[in-house]
């Protein structure tokens, strides 16, 4: 059980205690414990119970709950709270814009016990009549429920990936002569998906995978038809419209007969892949091995789990040649944003580490908050001390397209901005992000020699891959960054590469595929 999953049990405990108006100090202890465990650097499940007290905020009662959870995958205190709470009320706790206190009013005073009922009440304009609610809150709650409903049966690719591997291995282990190919959304490595599709041949008996949380569908075909059927089921219909399928048995034959260069599976979306194939070929697509550096990462100087030294040495051991540290800036007080004094301290440590770790290099970066007016949150003399600046929005995110676009463009026009970070602020399946005019923002980046981030966190993957073709068209480089807050976060780079390949990103247009000297020249040209 990973730390975040453990933390989720304690978080739900705190929420339900607050919902039932239990002791405030007790509520706070569970909530704080959840926060601390989600940030704890080492795997908690590997700890000896006698050392649970090393986790900040862990008293005897919480330590006992933790031991019970890891031994039994249950928490008696949580089970009792769940027993007292309707299932739909618990589901309402996940709706953005309302906390436990508001859910209590919705449940106890309004008599509403599910997100569906609440959505209906919003449509009937019923929430505005209750204290603590207004038209803005009602609108936000309604939109949040609609987003949740729309994506309730969707899954991140990171969750699907190990299941795909398990299904293939298990089917083949029980049917040694079988051929199994993943197709559909999973075959194209979609960012999110609703089911897993497999083409299978020569299978005597299909195993039962009903216990798996993601729906699985098998398409049985003959061995002779396997490759071409896998191709058909793997590509979007719009992609297939442009191809000659008659008389073919393999993907290569399809493209040869159609007079088109080979298009990798993840790109078969019916988007811009045929235009791409006229300019590039598969050998030019970005790969994991092409990335020589890693930019936009955090340390304990702001809200990271591991120290600057730990992050740098870990990345070096992974075979990278440079590391960009971009801790949060001073406006992000909630994230321990760096004061001017903190910056001086960090830069001194970077200089020392660079002497020790050469030729590996730590680049002095910052994730500078884009203020509501589009300014960055440091003076120019401070911004000038960094090797590069990632400009990102973290606050005042409720904007229309015009306001958001104007705000981003002004930040891009700042002479110290090197990279525009996670441009829409989205969280896949959780937050849609603010709307922007992508073309105008990308055009601004082109005019100001600013790269755009493809945030590799599998919950973000922002900028969306569908805009990579326009970035390349406008000669705007894309930086694949994990936004790592702990050492393990570096491994998310591969999901950024997956998304980048879907969009057809070539090595020559990826910022952190540049060697160190080329990268520094790029930053210095600002």
Give the 3-state DSSP-derived string for 245-280, with helices as H, strands as E and coil as C: CCCCCCHHHHHHHHCCCCCCHHHCCCCCHHHHHHHC
Strands (E), 101-167: 155-156
**What pLDDT score was predicted for residue 124?**
67
The CA-CA-CA angle for residues 424, 428, 433, to 5°, reads 25
Phi, psi of 174 (to 5 degrees): -90, -15
Task: Please tell me whether the peptide bond between 359 and the residue prior to it is cis, using omega within 30 degrees of 0.
Answer: yes
Give the mean pLDDT per block of 10 residues along the chain (526 residues). Answer: 91 95 93 91 88 89 93 93 93 88 91 84 77 85 82 87 94 92 97 96 89 91 96 96 92 95 96 95 97 96 93 98 97 90 97 98 98 97 98 92 98 98 91 93 98 95 98 98 94 97 98 97 92
- Put simply, whether the predicted model's pTM sits higher than 0.85 gets the answer no
Q: Is 142 in contact with 92 (CB distance < 8 Å)?
A: no
Helix (H) or strand (E) holding 324: strand 322-325
Q: Quote the CA–CA distance of 38 and 441 in Å, as a whole number.
A: 35
The CA-CA-CA angle for residues 140, 141, 143, to 5°, reads 65
Show Cβ contacts of residue 289 under 8 Å, excluding neighbours closer than 6 positions.
none
How many CA atoms, within 13 angstroms, populate the side-chain half-sphere of residue 14?
19
For CA atoms 152, 156, 159, 165, the dihedral sign is positive
Domains of the chain in start order, with CATH, are 3-150 (1.10.150.110), 155-271 (no CATH), 288-375+393-410+432-513 (3.20.20.140)
Show Cβ contacts of residue 197 under 8 Å, excluding neighbours closer than 6 positions.
182, 183, 184, 185, 186, 187, 216, 217, 218, 219, 233
Q: Give DSSP secondary structure letters for 453-506.
A: EEE--TTT-BS-GGGHHHHHHTT--EEEE--BSSGGGGGGHHHHHHHHHHTT-B
Q: Which two tokens stand for residue 415?
A: 């002479």
């Amino acid at each position: 059980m990973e730390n975040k999953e453990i933390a989720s049990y304690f978080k739900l405990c705190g929420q339900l205690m607050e919902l039932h108006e239990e002791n405030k100090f007790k509520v706070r202890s569970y909530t704080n414990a959840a926060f601390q465990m989600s940030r704890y650097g080492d795997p908690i499940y590997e700890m000896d119970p006698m050392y649970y007290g090393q986790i900040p905020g862990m008293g005897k009662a919480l330590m006992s709950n933790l031991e019970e959870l890891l031994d039994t995958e249950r928490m008696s205190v949580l089970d009792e709270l769940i027993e007292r709470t309707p299932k739909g009320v618990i589901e309402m706790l996940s709706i953005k814009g309302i906390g436990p206190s508001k859910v209590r009013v919705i449940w106890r005073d309004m008599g509403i016990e599910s997100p569906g009922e609440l959505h209906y009440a919003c449509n009937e304009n019923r929430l505005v009549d209750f204290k603590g609610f207004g038209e803005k809150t009602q609108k936000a709650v309604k939109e949040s429920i609609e987003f949740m409903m729309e994506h309730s049966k969707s899954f991140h690719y990171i969750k699907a990936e190990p299941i795909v591997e398990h299904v293939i291995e298990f089917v083949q282990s029980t049917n040694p002569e079988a051929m199994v190919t993943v197709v559909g959304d999973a075959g194209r490595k979609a960012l999110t998906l609703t089911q897993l599709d497999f083409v299978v041949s020569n299978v005597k008996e299909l195993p039962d995978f009903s216990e798996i949380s993601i729906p699985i569908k098998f398409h049985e075909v003959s061995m002779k038809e396997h490759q071409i059927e896998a191709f058909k089921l793997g590509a979007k219909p719009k992609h297939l419209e442009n191809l000659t399928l008659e008389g073919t048995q393999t993907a290569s034959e399809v493209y040869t007969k159609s007079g088109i260069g080979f298009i990798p599976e993840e790109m078969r979306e019916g988007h811009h892949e045929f235009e791409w194939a006229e300019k590039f070929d598969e050998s030019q697509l970005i790969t994991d091995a092409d990335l020589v550096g890693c930019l936009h990462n955090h340390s304990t100087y702001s809200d990271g789990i591991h120290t600057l030294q730990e992050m740098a040495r870990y990345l070096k051991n992974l075979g990278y040649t440079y590391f960009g540290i971009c801790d949060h800036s001073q406006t992000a007080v909630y994230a321990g944003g760096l004061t001017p004094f903190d910056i001086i301290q960090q830069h001194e440590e970077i200089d020392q580490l660079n002497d020790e770790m050469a030729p590996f290099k730590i680049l002095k970066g910052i994730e500078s908050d884009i203020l509501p007016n589009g300014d960055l949150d440091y003076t120019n003399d401070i911004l000038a001390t960094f090797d590069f600046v990632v400009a990102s929005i973290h606050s005042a995110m409720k904007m229309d397209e015009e306001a958001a676009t104007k705000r981003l463009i002004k930040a891009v026009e700042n002479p110290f901005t090197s990279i525009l970070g996670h441009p829409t602020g989205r969280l896949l399946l959780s937050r849609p992000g603010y709307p922007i005019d992508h073309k105008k923002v990308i055009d601004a980046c082109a005019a100001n020699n600013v790269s755009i981030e493809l945030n590799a966190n599998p919950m973000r993957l922002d900028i969306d891959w569908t805009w990579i073709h326009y970035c390349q068209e406008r000669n705007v480089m894309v930086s694949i960054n994990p936004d790592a807050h702990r050492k393990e976060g570096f491994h998310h780079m591969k999901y950024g590469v997956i998304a980048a390949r879907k969009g057809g990103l070539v090595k020559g247009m990826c910022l952190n595929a540049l060697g160190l000297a080329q990268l520094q020249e790029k930053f210095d040209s600002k």
